[in-house]
Amino acid sequence: MRLEQITYFLSVAEQGNITAAAKSLYISQPALSKQITLLEQEVGLPLFERQARGVVLTQAGVQFQKDLQNILKELENAKKNAVLAGRAQKPLLNIGCFDGAYADDFLPAVYDYLKEAASGQKLVIHKCNFLEGHDYLEKGKIDLWLTLDPSWQDRPGFLKKKITWRKGALIYSKKLQVGQKENPSWEDFKDETCILVKKSQSPGMFQHTLDTMESIHLDEGTIEVVENIGTQISYVKLGRGYCFLSENIIRGSEELKCIPLSGDRGIDIVAVWSEKNATVTKLMENYPG
């Protein structure tokens, strides 16, 4: 059954006359009669009773008319819904960001900028670890990867831009034995454990932390590796050891304290994307980083 046949049937049913219906449909009366006959053959029942002055619906025809009218309403609703969905739909801009509250000090600013600059796109945030972020970016699952500079190894086909800089610090908890001191020194941490995110997650970050430890003569101390930054911070809060992160991480925390690293020792936050993605390239060229 074709939509055209449905239209023909409903027109004849409404007008009660095949000749009049044919004129309104701009087809010949024989052609319309043939289509009605084919429709009745397909249904297996007569839909009209032929009379001298026209046609009337049989009982089967009355039910058929009612059902087809409902179907046409549903088709019209489907068309309207498709139009509304098409108007509401926005292309996605997938943004990957390394996991943990460690990103909360810069991510809102990046999001607000992109929300305004890419107003025609729907922003989707994906929190993931360093390995996942690199993999998702290379496979095109995310359009923009926000990460720590030491965690990203520059490679052909990708562009990078500095988003912000963080001053590094040794982060520790009041629960740590040395945390009870008023102004602890680097020397006070030589017998404590340094919590690091494991090397396989980010060789660059792992080495960066080791270099920092060496610079303040803590490189001979104990090291414990964990899966991600979230676990790293949790362990530090529990008094299990200390770590090296941004001094911003202690903001709003009553249990965490820090000793800022000297000079310009810190970490750049960078955005990375494929050079083939012209949309993101244009967005990041104008980012006020």
Cβ neighbours, 10 Å, residue 76: 10
pTM exceeds 0.75: no
Q: Which helix (H) or strand (E) holds 240?
A: none
- How far are the Cα atoms of 4, 125, 161, 287 from residue 278, in angstroms, in the given order? 46, 20, 15, 14
Closest by CA position to 152, among listed 98, 101, 224: 98
Q: pLDDT value at position 251?
A: 83
- How far are the Cα atoms of 104, 115, 138 from residue 124, in angstroms, in the given order? 16, 11, 17
- Euclidean distance between CA atoms 33 and 44, whole angstroms: 16
- Euclidean distance between CA atoms 204 and 140, whole angstroms: 23
In a shared domain, residues 251 and 137 = no
- How far are the Cα atoms of 27, 33, 105, 223, 253 from residue 100, in angstroms, in the given order? 69, 72, 11, 21, 15
What is the block-wise mean pLDDT of the chain (289 residues), using blocks of 10 residues? 88 92 91 92 91 90 91 86 70 86 81 92 90 92 93 92 92 92 93 93 89 92 90 93 90 90 86 96 90
Last residue of a domain, one of 87, 114, 148: 87
Last residue of a domain, one of 87, 106, 126: 87
Q: Is the dihedral of CA 277, 279, 282, 287 positive or negative?
A: negative
- Euclidean distance between CA atoms 10 and 150, whole angstroms: 71
What would the two tokens of residue 84 be? Answer: 């509304």
Number of folded domains that form the chain: 3
What CATH number has the domain bearing residue 48? 1.10.10.10
In a shared domain, residues 68 and 104 = no
DSSP, collapsed to helix, strand or coil, labels residue 242 as: strand
In a shared domain, residues 36 and 117 = no
In a shared domain, residues 28 and 152 = no
In a shared domain, residues 107 and 73 = no
In a shared domain, residues 142 and 279 = yes
Q: pLDDT value at position 101?
A: 60
In a shared domain, residues 171 and 259 = yes
What CATH number has the domain bearing residue 112? 3.40.190.10
Q: pLDDT value at position 88?
A: 59
- Count how many residues are written for the chain: 289
Which range of residues forms the domain containing residue 133? 92-164+268-285
Q: pLDDT value at position 87?
A: 64
In a shared domain, residues 158 and 172 = no
In a shared domain, residues 116 and 201 = no
Q: Give per-residue burial for 154-193: e unless 16+ CB within 10 Å, then b.
A: eeeebbbeebeebbbbbbbbeebebbeeeebeeebbeebb
In a shared domain, residues 209 and 226 = yes
In a shared domain, residues 112 and 253 = no
In a shared domain, residues 8 and 151 = no
Q: pLDDT value at position 86?
A: 67
